[in-house]
Structure 1
Amino acid sequence: MSPPTIVDSHIHLWPQETSNEQGHAWMTPGMPLATPHLLKDYQKASKHPGGQEEETDVQGVVYIETDVRYDSPESGDLATWAKGPLDEILFLRSIVEGKYGEQDSKMLLGLVPWAPIDQPTSVFDEYLTLAKDMAGPVAWPRIKGFRYLLQAMTDPTTFEKVVFGDNFIANLKLLGKRGLSFDIGVDQRSGGTWQLQAVAKAMEMAHHGVPENEKVTFVINHLCKPEFSIESESFQQWQVAVERLAKLSRTHVKLSGAFSELPEGLTSPEQIAGRIKPWFAHVLSVFSSKRVMFGSDWPVCNVKGPAAEASWPIWKEIVQLLLNDAELSLSENDIQSIWSGTAVEAYRLG
């Protein structure tokens, strides 16, 4: 079989200016991610060890927002308190417009920046206008959707107040009307299965009563960050929650982010693929290959990955092992959907 055509549906980038705590609250001094990460670094990381570039035929990538620092909405006007995320869009615009070279511009197929989806719809709509102005006419068409991370809200009352609130639901419906998607970031392992259950209900509310062609497209990140412990009740709870998510139309899931959730002691691609397989098999059974997409979570994959900065090819090898597993009976078309086709469809990259 020839090397797959890959669209990496989940990567992060940041310039020198935001490679610090001032740019990202989570980027503490000395941590391995507190340095610039640009597409030239991604291109180097995604090549097979030994320089066999054809082994990782990455056609393009989708950029996902990086949880940049922003102020409290009560601290001033929108352009001021949301300056960090708006500057993030300016950085992406510079890539698209060729500041980092033609190859980088072509490679950046889709953009999913941050947006204040928890705010009143008037504020959210104003932010979309500011985002469009910041992106400019060349980069704006590459903005395919937005993300607002939910996983850090570990108090159920706070979480539910946001996702069941009128603002959140109305803004999801507005994204659907505008033809824009929303990336879902929830965390079973660190947050709890209740996050998955609550966000599923919110997603159902956002689709309720909406014409099919105006329903917002959802893209679920990192398999909902499961515990990867088949012995515990969490696996069955995760299965039930994911099956509920899969019943929603226009909803897709990323095979990504596993290195951050796996227990210690798993080092070989075969071991890791074996551990992930029950979760992947369930996702396939309820979503089908047409709604599952490959993502690397680069450079976050390097932090707990088995090969540090060389972890991208390891993740690709793990995914290849899963896709070629005879017990999963995936056709060549199924496999290509996961490597690229689903991302192209979900994010409208064609």
Structure 2
Amino acid sequence: MPPTILDSHIHLWPSTATSPKDHAWMTPGLPLAKRHGVQDYAAATAAAPVRLAGFVYVETDRHVPSASVDLRPGSSLGEGDVEAELRAWARAPLEEFAFLRRVVEGRVQEGDGARGDDGAMLKGMVIWAPFHVQEEVFGTFLRLARDVLGEEAWARVVGFRLHLTREPWLTSERRYLLQGRTAEEVKSIIGNERFVRNVKFACGKEERRLAFDVGIDAHRDGIEALEAVVALIEGVEEEEGVNFVLNHLCKPDLSTPTWPSFPRWQACMGRLSSHLNVYMKLSGALNEFAPSAAPASVDAVLDTLRPYLDCVLQSFGAHRVLFGSDWPVCNVGGPKGEARNWGFWVVVVERYLEEKGLSEKDKEWVWAKSAAAAYGIKELR
């Protein structure tokens, strides 16, 4: 019987958000610099022999004009001025929220790449928020986000992500994600008490536990950056109500079978998995291979990934491992192109789960239930 999948990691953007003023990383000629809507995703998944129950949208690193914004309520700026400054600084992220609201409410516009009923597939949204700003400003941003999203879309916010990154397929290195920074930069960002307080404030609600998605690149940023993330997570107690969801296996170096940092990466997985509020996504692998060694077959992918997948499955267990496609980024490095890379990754994961002899019940967790648990999506738990 084909698996029922809740895809825990996809990205969407309309045709109106394909320039550097909307996404600084969308440089001319980049394969991803075109519309990627729900209908495009539906076309990419249609050929795979699965039942798609829905997906979790993950923010797309919309452009902001500076790394931070220095606003101090109660000083020279009044409350209205703070909101106006925030609206100007976070113009592109707020436009992302407006796009998501149109999809959820079925009021899609030309260029959104969606139909009026596509919002039903959007089971949850992991949105961007500036966790590094002053607490008062952060609270104002969350109120703005709720206002722009509207109540129906806000109810589908299941988590947040802040992310300083560079990707191997990008020419621009000006990104606001935890990836793409030195270990010292990562430590200074996430080790800041203000950052930690904002994470607890946004995610640790008693009435609605939200997730914090962690994007870290252990390969390019150094294993020390991942170890800094481990320290952050260990400093937030489980009872404080925050679920941490690790993206893309934390991006190990897949370009070599003898990555020197593998033992330290493995140790990090052991430390992270000891906390029951930490989850891991099986996602983002296809574009991590060196271009000269891009695998062309399922067997070739598994030959490289097996040590990492074995470690993750053994450490976290099936109930805290999530399937995610990282669509459309999976199209950049995979061997089957835009039409078939999504299905290719499904086959890779399916083959691996069969190889490990997982029960049908445990497979259900990897394909859908773990994501529903991590993000609090009740209808699929």
Instruction: Give the TM-score range, shorter chain.
Output: over 0.9
Match of 2:277 in 1: 250
How far apart, in 2, do the equivalents of 1:265 and 1:305 lie?
A: 7
Normalising by structure 2, what TM-score?
A: 0.86
1:92-140 residue CA offsets vs partner (Å, 9 max, x unmatched) = 0000001233431110000011000111221111111111111101111
What SS is found at the alignment partner of 1:168? helix
Higher normalized helix content (fraction of residues): 1
Match of 1:183 in 2: 213
C-alpha displacement of 1:256: 0.2
Cα contact 1:32–1:303 (8 A) shared by 2: yes
Mapping 1:116-195, distance limit 5 Å: 116-150=130-164, 151-178=178-205, 179-195=209-225
How far apart, in 2, do the equivalents of 1:103 and 1:194 lie?
A: 45
How far apart, in 2, do the equivalents of 1:153 and 1:188 lie?
A: 10
C-alpha displacement of 1:155: 2.2
- Calculate the aligned-residue CA RMSD, in Å: 1.5
Match of 1:96 in 2: 104
Cα contact 1:175–1:181 (8 A) shared by 2: no
Cα contact 1:170–1:206 (8 A) shared by 2: no
What SS is found at the alignment partner of 2:43? helix
Structure 2 gap segments, 5+ residues each:
72-83, 109-113, 165-177
Match of 1:235 in 2: 262
C-alpha displacement of 1:215: 2.4
1:317-338 residue CA offsets vs partner (Å, 9 max, x unmatched) = 111111110xx23111111100
Aligned partner of 1:79 among 80, 84, 87: 87
Normalising by structure 1, what TM-score?
A: 0.93
Report the AA paired with residue 308 of structure 2.
W
Match of 1:219 in 2: 245
1:44-93 residue CA offsets vs partner (Å, 9 max, x unmatched) = 00122xxxx6x121110000000010122149721210111111111000
Report the AA paired with residue 34 of structure 1.
A
The share of aligned pairs that are identical, in percent, is 40
Match of 1:311 in 2: 341
Structure 1 gap segments, 5+ residues each:
none
1:13-43 residue CA offsets vs partner (Å, 9 max, x unmatched) = 0011111111111111111100000010000
How far apart, in 2, do the equivalents of 1:77 and 1:223 lie?
A: 37
Of the structure 1 ranges 99-108 and 245-254, higher mean CA displacement relative to structure 2 is found in 99-108
How far apart, in 2, do the equivalents of 1:138 and 1:176 lie?
A: 19
Aligned length: 338
Sort the Cα spacing of 1:123 and 1:206 in 2 relative to 1 into closer, same or farther, 3 A: farther
C-alpha displacement of 1:286: 0.9
How far apart, in 1, do the equivalents of 2:85 and 2:284 lie?
A: 35
How far apart, in 2, do the equivalents of 1:101 and 1:146 lie?
A: 26
How far apart, in 1, do the equivalents of 2:280 and 2:361 lie?
A: 18
How far apart, in 2, do the equivalents of 1:102 and 1:78 lie?
A: 31
Whether 2:232 is the aligned partner of 1:202: answer yes
1:298-330 residue CA offsets vs partner (Å, 9 max, x unmatched) = 0000011111212111111111111110xx231
How far apart, in 2, do the equivalents of 1:217 and 1:320 lie?
A: 26
Runs of 4+ in 1 over 6 A off after TM superposition: none
Sort the Cα spacing of 1:108 and 1:265 in 2 relative to 1 into closer, same or farther, 3 A: closer
Cα contact 1:294–1:340 (8 A) shared by 2: yes
Sort the Cα spacing of 1:187 and 1:269 in 2 relative to 1 into closer, same or farther, 3 A: same
